Amino acid sequence: MLAEFTLDEAGGEPNAAEILLAPLSEDGHTVDAIVGGLSLRPMKADGSSPKRRAVVRPDGPMLFALGSSAAFGERVARRLGIMLAPHEERFFEDGEHKARPLSSVRDRDVYVFDSLTGDSRHTSNDKLCRMLFFIGALRDAGAGRVTAMVPYLCYSRKDRRTKSRDPVTTRYVAQLFEAVGTDRLMTMEIHNLAAFQNAFRHPTVHLDANSAFVGHFAAEIGDAPVAVVSPDLGGAKRAEIFRERLETTLGRPVAKGFMDKQRSGGVVTGELFAGDVDGRMVVVVDDLISTGTTMARVAAVCRAKGATRVSVAATHGLFTGGADALWGEAAIDDVVITDTVKLPALDAGAVANRLVVLETADIFADAITECSRAEFGIHRRP
């Protein structure tokens, strides 16, 4: 936009006028011509101009990756054929920090990566604040659109009140992202999808890693009979979606099952198991592994009911406290996770030959491409 002013004709309604110019280029580098135009919009009754939609330049996405998510961001950038944009992060003696872009973001379509789980250096709260402040800096610097790329979203499990006066932290996190000017948030395999979608007022994109998991397990299973098990009723729909995709890929029926679970004061109980796993390879599917207690419990029950092999699969491998309960359970043959969370230090002896990490960079890169195409009205050919 070259200029903006008010056009007030005698006896008529005032109009907000904009003079717009756009460069035209054949090769994407050399400007061959300039096209211009005049935009007129009626003023509001109070004399103010209606809110103008942010202008986003159609010259490709701009990616930033904060902190320990740099390696993940680089993998996504490589799939898109671009480089990560430079930025600066500084930490001060009093525990405060700042982050800022080191190149112009004006009118750009910006994506900011960080997985919001605590590690040995920074808590999830530290990472959340860093991302929020960085998004605020991008908006102040004139970014056309900002998408928070959060492979793992902190506080997503605190989506409802379980006790009187409990906080609904998922909603508060959504309000924080909205407050700093986030246009959209993209995440993977949220704990409660309905609660997540209801918490955010700005657009969200929810991804899953089923394509990666199905590809891996289809190759591992071969001709063996198989069953997909959910560790609790709350995750039954997630497990069913995976089971249906695996069944389609294998071209034969895949059995299903689920385990009953109640949690109170950090103690997991429940003995009910439904489903036929006798003589089958079992894949236990969940959104995340924290302490590993739930997965270990289900694996032991499946073995006792005749499962020939038990694999546990989860998108996010948090492995809180080393997840000793998981690695100490002999019923588990292997643990399959994705790279959404940077792995903590684990006992190499316990983990040896049992941990598989699948990449999700392709999934995020494809989602960015689709979002960018939708913004500029570009669609894939059929």
Which active-site residues does the annotation give?
261
CB atoms within 10 A of CB 367: 19
Under 8 Å CB-to-CB from 77, ≥6 apart: which residues?
63, 65, 83, 84
The Cα–Cα gap between 204 and 143 comes to 18
Kindly report the backbone phi and psi dihedral angles of residue 370, in degrees, each rounded to the nearest multiple of 5, phi listed first.
-65, -40
Burial environment of residue 6 by CB neighbours within 10 A (0 to 12, 13 to 18, 19 or more): exposed
DSSP 229: E
Given strand 109-113, what is the order of strands in its sheet? Answer: 61-65, 109-113, 145-150, 184-188, 204-207
- Give how far the C-alpha of residue 10 lies from the chain's centroid of Cα atoms, to the nearest Å: 54
